[in-house]
Amino acid sequence: MSKEYEIIEYLGKSQDISQRKIAEKTGLSLGMVNILLQRMVKKGLIKIERLNARSLRYILTPKGIAEKSKRTYKYIKNSYDYIIQISYKVQEMYDKARALGVKQIYLYGPQNEVYHIIKLALKTQKIPFKHTSDKDALDKDDLVMIWESGDEQRLDGIFKVINIIKTL
Confidence of residue 69 (pLDDT cuts 50, 70, 90): very high
> Positive or negative CA dihedral for 144, 148, 154, 157?
positive
pLDDT tens-digit readout, 137-159: 888 888 899 998 888 778 867 78
pLDDT tens-digit readout, 57-68: 899 999 999 999
E-strand ranges in 10-142 read: 46-50, 56-60, 105-108, 130-132
- Domains along the chain? 3-60 (1.10.10.10), 77-163 (3.40.50)
More confident residue, 130 or 133: 130
Query: Global pTM?
Result: 0.71
CA 89 and chain centroid, separation: 18
Q: How far apart are the first and last CA of the chain?
A: 21
Query: DSSP 3-state helix, strand, coil percentages of the chain (rounded to 5)?
Result: 55, 15, 30
What pLDDT does 1 receive? 52
Percent of the chain with pLDDT strictly greater than 90: 48
